Amino acid sequence: MELLAERPRSVGELAELTGLRQPQTTKHLQTLAKAGLVTVFPLGQRRVYALETAPLTQLERHLRRLIDAAAANADERDVVERYRAAIEAESAMAEQNRWADGRRFEFERTLAAAREIVWRHWVDADLLGSWLAPPSMTITDCGLEPVPGGRAVLDYRDPEGRHYHSAGTVRAATEPEHLAFDLSVLDADGAVSFTGRYDLALDIVADGTRLRLTLTITDTAVEAVPYIAGIGTGWGQVLDNLAAITEGISRS
């Protein structure tokens, strides 16, 4: 195509310049012609091919849109890269069971919504399901019954059809300010990969509601590496979802 960009050329000329045999050159040119990228001009015994710039201009615009979209969403790629790095780092430490026991994660957000609205988005199963799914995941079951001993469950399905099941119980609930619960991530055989002990506090502030979530890890199996590695990023993403949804409700 670079040769055709200079000027129209015959099959024989292109074959000589590229070092290909004429049948190979003809086959490549026919493919380009079917794609609308070149036009063939029969000139007596010769067939001369010329480059068409219009489809290339369209392709340029399309590629520019792709580049702009990729640049605008570069943070999504960064998430994947950080997750891969986290898995590698955690794998180096996961030599025996309970390798991550006692590890603590803390998350905080100021949400532009009343505390009662935020509370409902934790204890109403439908509202909980509206924000708790990380990107590309689909929630198939979820719930936090806000009573001591209440059911706690969180099930996902990924785009490949794999299912992820977590189950546990609510330890304490004081509406609309405090919720404590345990969730154990289970493998395909029902064995515990790790248990998360969650403590949620909701406080009224001038801008709305301050959310503080503490997660302490226990019962860690060696196979829990991918889950542990994704906790920081995953909870960061879903809490951003919660912030956006509750802010939208408050504005409406």
- The DSSP line for 160-223 is TS-EEEEEEEEEEEETTTEEEEEEEEE-TTS-EEEEEEEEEEEEEETTEEEEEEEEEEES--GG
pLDDT at 237: 94
**Are 66 and 108 in the same domain?**
no
Q: Does the pLDDT value for residue 234 go beyond 80?
A: yes
Which residue's entry shows tokens 């248990």?
Answer: 195
Looking at the fold, whether 118 and 179 belong to one and the same domain comes out as: yes
Together in a domain, 187 and 239: yes
Query: Omega into 55 within 30° of 0, i.e. cis?
Result: no
28 plus 132 within the same structural domain: no
Report pLDDT digits (tens) over 65-77.
999 999 998 888 8
Instruction: State the pLDDT confidence band at 36, using cuts at 50, 70 and 90.
Output: very high
How many domains are there within the chain?
A: 2
Q: Is residue 84 part of a domain?
A: no
What is the CATH classification number for the domain harbouring 42?
A: 1.10.10.10
* Alpha-carbon torsion (220, 222, 227, 228), positive or negative: positive
Residue 76 covered by a domain: no
- Smallest CA-to-CA distance from 182 within 228, 216, 232 is with 216
Tell me the average pLDDT across 14-42: 94
Q: pLDDT digit string (tens) for 146-180? A: 999 999 999 999 999 999 999 999 999 999 999 99
Residue partners of 130: CB distance under 8 A and separation at least 6: 121, 245
Point out which residues pair with 170 in neighbouring strands: 181
Task: Give a yes or no: residue 53 inside a domain.
Answer: yes
Contact of 212 with 107, CB cutoff 8 Å: yes
Range of the structural domain that residue 35 is part of: 2-71
Query: Three-state SS for 139?
Result: strand
Same domain, 42 and 129: no
